[in-house]
Chain A
Amino acid sequence: MAFCTGCSLLCDDIEVDFEGGKVKRTLNLCRKGRGHYDALTVDRLNPAVGGSGVVVGEAVKAAAEILSAAERPLLFGWGRSSLAAQKLGVDLAKKLGSAIDDPSSYSQGLMTEKILKGEIPTCTFDDVRNFADVSIFWGDDPSSSHPRHMSRFSYFPRGEKRQRGYEEDREAIVVDVRKSPTAMIAADGFFKIQSGGDAAFIEALLATLGGKIPKVEDKKKMLNLGTKLRKAKFGAIFTGQGLVQSRKGDVEAFSSLVAKLNELTRFSVIPSLGDYNTRGFNQTLFEETGFVNSVSFADGVSGGPEFGIAKYLDGCDAVMVVGSDPAAVLPAPLAKKLASIPTVAVDSHRTLTTDAAKVAIPMAVAGLEAGGSALRTDGVKVDFDGVVESDRLPDAEIIEMIMEAV
């Protein structure tokens, strides 16, 4: 059995055959995962300094020089790093007195923070499979982003108390701005909202749950939803970027909805995070500092949006990006700013960020070439092994080498 680190579900029932270093046949791996496996032999990163090929040791030395000379360095990425590498990353940030951040500062960090602080109740996917009778996908389209989400955990499988699965024992509700592939499955359980209309929908739903008539067009549908939620024995809400990226106020409104639902019955929230170990980084940093992202060790421990990549790049004089591609994701002005700062990129594959970086250091692909541990998006620790031989070093070893050299 092999593991898939293609998304944060960390599927552990994969069967794979290799032939001549390439993937020959896979079983149980979704299309996204298959792409992740096939990429093993495509566009791999080679060690380089200033665009010229070097050996890993020289690249590490150059990286250490850039980081040591900087006054305001930023360590960014970490979503595609093992728990060991993330822990070392936090230690490196402490040693350098630098800022450390990950892509959750502009995606689902707010939700993860509330979960880790205990402000929003959560549960594991196994609880969902065994007990949940209502699954709500809010601004979340797992059919596209986490293909096996619904089949492994949230809707279709049979569980301990849900022996009849999706046919009779489970209800899927989708709240989204468009009829996504997940909404197609939910059929009548789809609630279309306007972009940025989460708070208004929550207000109407809270009114319904409070026994009032909601001020919405389709009152009957909303009242039915209220009844379903009130009667649910155990509900699970899966949040996506649609909810979190709308507005901060919407997350607060969402918290009050979850609190209200928990007065009536039991509802838990699991965010659908992007990279395979985003949850791991958020949790590691939270345990060390009390913040899930955007932390600076320059003067003790301080956290806040000013230490997130979006704001910290102003005045930043060195960036180390590990297993992430901010140059491809950030808005163009920020990406340009990033490209103008001396950057060290540690990644398994060539990306826009590694192309723009001064120093590139290749790492092994976790779960395929290297073993390690990670936290699934619901917080369950998963240990995995490598399945193919590789001369590329695991991420933790690279961070350790940099740590020794700075």
Chain B
Amino acid sequence: MISVMEVYQLLPKTNCKKCGLPTCMAFAVELLGKRKAIEDCTPLVEEPKYEKKLAGLRELMAPILSTEATETGMVIHPEKCYGCGNCVVACPVNVANDPKGTAIGRGPVSGKAILMVEDGIVKCVNVDQCRRFGPEKVLCNACIVTCPSKAIEFI
């Protein structure tokens, strides 16, 4: 998981306020939350002396900005997934939404599950139901700690 400090270290750290925020640290927080884009930091993009930092920041932010990650930042590594369904059964939202299916260890039956195993690999659906979704998110980690192959991560 990328930390705010990692992002901050790759910003100009001048607190120039050109992005509309009071400090570079505040910009790092907004950037990580996808509410600002890298291009909003004009000095970083335009001034050649920040070239290395810009390249580093783009590399660091690539997984977050890629389409692979869901809106909650969940990335599933399909090559690592066993399709065991531990995350499907352990997910507290799945259990609450699907008491006759995932809660008792079976496949989802209600259509409201967040995680399901399709084609032997776990898939994220109904992402808006995830505890990590939206501004008032809870940093739930039930799907990460129950994975035997570390196939799920949040960025």
Contact residues of A with B, CB < 8 Å?
13-15, 25-35, 129, 143-144, 147-148, 150-153, 156-159, 165-166, 181-182, 184-185
Contact = CB atoms under 8 A, between A and B. Distances in A.
B82 A151 contact: no
B98 to A, nearest CB: 11
B104 A159 contact: yes
Contacts of B89: 151-152, 156-157, 165
Contact of B106 (A35, A143, A152): A152
22 contacts: A15-B107, A25-B118, A27-B116, A27-B118, A28-B85, A28-B117, A30-B84, A32-B82, A32-B83, A33-B83, A33-B120, A143-B84, A143-B149, A151-B84, A151-B105, A156-B105, A156-B146, A157-B89, A158-B103, A158-B104, A165-B89, A166-B90
Contacts of B119: 25-26, 29, 34
Contacts of A152: 85, 89, 105-106
Question: 9 closest A-B pairs (Cβ-Cβ)?
Answer: A34-B120, A28-B107, A157-B105, A181-B148, A30-B83, A143-B148, A147-B84, A31-B83, A31-B120
Contact of A185 (B107, B118, B146): B146
Contacts of B82: 30-32, 143-144, 147, 181
A14 B117 CA distance: 10
Given A28-B117, A158-B95, A151 B104 contact: no
Contacts of B146: 156, 166, 185
A27 B103 CA distance: 17
A246 B119 CA distance: 36
Interface string B36-75: 0000000000000000000000000000000000000000
Interface in B96-113: 103-108
Interface in B115-155: 116-121, 145-146, 148-150
A34, A144, A157, A184: which has the most chain B beta carbons within 10 Å? A157
B7 interface: no
A33, A144, A185: which has the most chain B beta carbons within 10 Å? A185
A145 to B, nearest CB: 11
A181 B82 CA distance: 11
A27 to B, nearest CB: 6
B81 interface: yes
A35 B117 contact: no
Given A27-B118, A32-B120, 5 more contacts: A32-B82, A143-B149, A150-B84, A151-B84, A166-B90
Contacts of B148: 143-144, 181-182, 184-185
Given A151-B88, A157-B89, A29 B117 contact: yes
Nearest to A36: B120
Contacts of A25: 118-119
Contacts of B104: 129, 157-159
A33 B145 CA distance: 23
Q: Determine the main DSSP class of A at the interface with B.
A: helix
Nearest to B106: A13
A157 B104 CA distance: 5
Contacts of A33: 83, 120
Contacts of A165: 89-90, 95
Contacts of B81: 31
A15 B120 CA distance: 12
A166 B145 CA distance: 12
Given A34-B83, A150-B84, A157-B105, A27 B149 contact: no
Contacts of A28: 85, 106-108, 116-117
A301 to B, nearest CB: 41
A151 to B, nearest CB: 4
B105 A153 contact: yes
Nearest to A185: B148
Given A35-B120, A143-B148, A185 B86 contact: yes
A151 B101 CA distance: 12
A294 B105 CA distance: 37
Nearest to B119: A26
A152, A153, A156: which has the most chain B beta carbons within 10 Å? A156
Contacts of B120: 26, 29-35
A118 B118 CA distance: 40
Contacts of B103: 157-158
A144 B149 CA distance: 10
Given A152-B106, A159-B104, A181-B149, A31 B85 contact: no
A137 B123 CA distance: 28
Nearest to A29: B120
Nearest to B95: A158
Contacts of B145: 185
A143 B108 CA distance: 20
B104 to A, nearest CB: 5
Contacts of B108: 28
